[in-house]
Amino acid sequence: MISPAAARIVGVLGGLSWILRWFLRWQHFTEANSAIDVVVHWLGATWLAIAVVAAGTSLVRHAPLWLRLLIGAAVLLLGLVALSLAYELGYSRVETNAFIGGAVAILSVVLPRYEPPIRKVEMPEPTSPTFDKEAARQAADQLEADRQARLDEAKGPAKRRRFGRRGDGGHRAQG
């Protein structure tokens, strides 16, 4: 996974690149779809995507990697939905991208990494008077007996043959 410091740097670089794209277009240094415009746009989009996924994965600390990546991808898709909604409302794509890039850059610097409070759960010690070893052993034996009874009941009176109809394991005697 990417470190929180690297994610912040990538978020700032992505936001600044989209702001740079807006500035270059505003000052007429580049035209729409020129090589510089396209490179700056996709470089910024890649950096911002990495920063948003890293921010999404930091929301859940104690989860498997696949779940953290799934949540990071969901946060990225949520951001893309918000971006497409802004496009549908008629705002300029370059100005919208610059605004979103600036917001991500500022949030990457200002917001600290969220860490949920750690709750301690007190478990009884095995030596404490509330923990009865004999009762725990009897409960485990009873569970095992119930499980074995269910298995015996499921088998029924007739045993199933493993390898076919013949009782010789499915092989004919050679002779």
pLDDT of residue 70: 94
Distance CA 37, CA 39 (A): 6
pLDDT in tens, 63-107: 888 999 999 999 999 989 988 998 898 888 888 888 989 998 888
Task: Using the Cα atoms of residue 47, residue 50, residue 52 and residue 54 in order, give the sign of their dihedral.
Answer: negative
Task: Using the Cα atoms of residue 7, residue 8, residue 10 and residue 11 in order, give the sign of their dihedral.
Answer: positive
Q: Please state, in angstroms and as integers, the Cα–Cα distance from residue 71 to each residue in 31, 75, 115, following that order.
A: 37, 6, 16
pLDDT in tens, 125-158: 666 556 677 777 888 888 888 888 888 877 765 5
Mean pLDDT across the chain: 80
pLDDT of residue 175: 47
Place of tokens 């505003």: 26
Neighbours of 147 (CB within 10 A): 10
* Nearest one of 1, 2, 17 to 105, comparing CA atoms: 17
Task: Report the amino acid identity of residue 68.
Answer: R
pLDDT average, residue stretch 120-124 = 63
